A and B are shown apart, each in its own frame.
Chain A
């Protein structure tokens, strides 16, 4: 039985970039050295001087890793999710989540038991998620989506992905880039013979 290590907050989950850099390159990383034509350098020597942000999200989602629970068959990673609403109105939200592996197979999922109200400026924090306890070493994606409704039919929604690796008994939180570079996501999900 795999012995899971409790290293959630300080080093693993929050220090995922370091963990990723120490890992043996996978197939995706090897291919990064492919000689794709060289691009011209960016024009500006001092970027960010006229950086313009996009429209602010009306609903934002933040994942807060809580703990790893040790079970007989392995460990589970628990999150709680904070849903925040921007603007003066309260928002009625409905949410769902799913855990997939790097080939897209759904391993677990869940949804809100009922529509909940998110007052403006006060995050909804009652949402909890827990990974299955028998995750093999590999790459996993936790996807959370939330749809909201406001007065006069105004439409808002939001979501967030958490990119996970389970390796050697530890959970690592990766960036989307790290996850995709190291996982099997470059592989085809299907091939149809007739072009």
Chain B
């Protein structure tokens, strides 16, 4: 071997080895994120959980953080080295690169922020910044590939004694999107960039004061109150349901005193699933909740439940499958729980004395029908509760079960009368 060849070989070795790392590096990391899930509203062990999406086996243990954005980051670099998303099981595989030696490389980490991979929603602190969750620090291995990635293992956050409230809110919100809203085309098209902030009763410059959480379709915002965590069905999923209703067809909300039944004036009135309400309110709340309990249950579930609780819902007082029937107490036709049972009866495939069974194939119709509502304030129109000049309400029982059924029949040729008759002839 002559001198020139020796020098050439040494030069090639020099370039291909460590020195090349000084100028550019790349690799692939793989791992998994989980959080300690303590969300209530699961189907408890011992109950017939046929058709239940969320069972007790997923409660009080580590569960995957699904379909969220993930970054490879190094504080000294001050910029992401790579980014990706987790899959349905919480796994991520992210390619990273850096045009030189990574400074302070051993302090690199991967983190996720509560930002849905399709930009459907993101969860913020009350001040508008992101909560985030990191792996332990590591040194990126140059030259790793998708086929042979650097394995970071499974990173868990939270514990049974101290579950992370923001991560648990993401768990519930992601389920709401993936198991319910995702199946509706008009929401696929329109439901983006929802900003969710928590957990405070009052957040100035956001939605202000709402001590039981709230949603604003026009602002595309959800605010979670300081006790909203861990009861997804009545809070984060329910409020996302309100946004979905608005995204399906924008309407003019802010109905004055709509929660003050039987009064037509007043302020600060709340609502309960078991108290009589003006029907525009009871239907709107029930429809928002419908998206939550259909995220948690498929239509063949024999014991679907709804409750405002951090635990499993009681299967006697909170069973949606127990139809209200036709023998009803005064004002039963005004109770949100009655309307929830009506909507479940329209959807479910369980034979409980009514013929409506739209089932999974027609699930999309139950929300998409809203898009077919005509504009205006007359009967069965989208702003039915308002008078023609939008200066006051003149139909507080409008935009409820009756108009929903009319529009559904008009759009899809299916009468929902049977389910209505089976639930106190809800207004």
A residues adjacent to B (C-beta < 8 A) = 28, 30-32, 34-37, 39-40, 42-44, 46-58, 60-61, 86-87, 98, 100, 103-106, 141, 143, 145, 147, 152-161, 175-177, 180-181, 185-195
14 sampled A-B residue pairs with Cβ under 8 A:
A34-B71, A39-B122, A40-B192, A47-B207, A52-B284, A55-B234, A55-B336, A57-B212, A143-B162, A160-B227, A175-B200, A176-B166, A177-B200, A193-B151
Give Cα distance in the complex from A155 to B307, angstroms: 8
- A40 partner, pick from B193, B198, B242, B311, beta carbons under 8 A: B193
Contact flags B346-379 to A (C-beta < 8 A → 1, else 0): 0000000000000000000000000000000000
- B125 partner, pick from A51, A181, A187, beta carbons under 8 A: A181
Contact A52 B285 (CB under 8 A): yes
Contact flags B82-111 to A (C-beta < 8 A → 1, else 0): 000000000100000000000000000001
Contact B213 A36 (CB under 8 A): no
B411 on interface, CB distance cutoff 8 Å: no
B residues adjacent to A (C-beta < 8 A) = 30-32, 36, 69, 71, 73, 75, 79-80, 91, 111, 113, 115, 119, 122, 125-127, 129-136, 151-159, 161-162, 164-166, 192-193, 195, 198-200, 206-208, 210-221, 223, 225-229, 234-235, 238-239, 242, 246, 252-254, 259, 270-273, 284-285, 288, 307-311, 313-314, 316-318, 336
B129, B152, B229 pick with most chain A CB within 10 angstroms? B129
Contact A195 B153 (CB under 8 A): yes
Contact A176 B200 (CB under 8 A): yes
Give Cα distance in the complex from A161 to B162, angstroms: 10
Contact A58 B308 (CB under 8 A): yes
> Which partner residue on chain B sits nearest A87 by CB separation?
B272
Contact B135 A51 (CB under 8 A): no
B165, B216, B242 pick with most chain A CB within 10 angstroms? B216
> Which partner residue on chain B sits nearest A106 by CB separation?
B161
Kindly count the residue-residue contacts between A and B in the assembled complex, taking CB atoms under 8 Å apart.
Answer: 236
A-side contacts of B229, CB under 8 Å: 161
> Which partner residue on chain B sits nearest A180 by CB separation?
B131
Other than the known A34-B111, A44-B219, A160-B226, what 4 A-B pairs have Cβ atoms closer than 8 Å?
A42-B219, A46-B218, A50-B246, A52-B239
Give Cα distance in the complex from A48 to B154, angstroms: 41
Shortest C-beta distance, B272 to chain A (Å), equals: 6
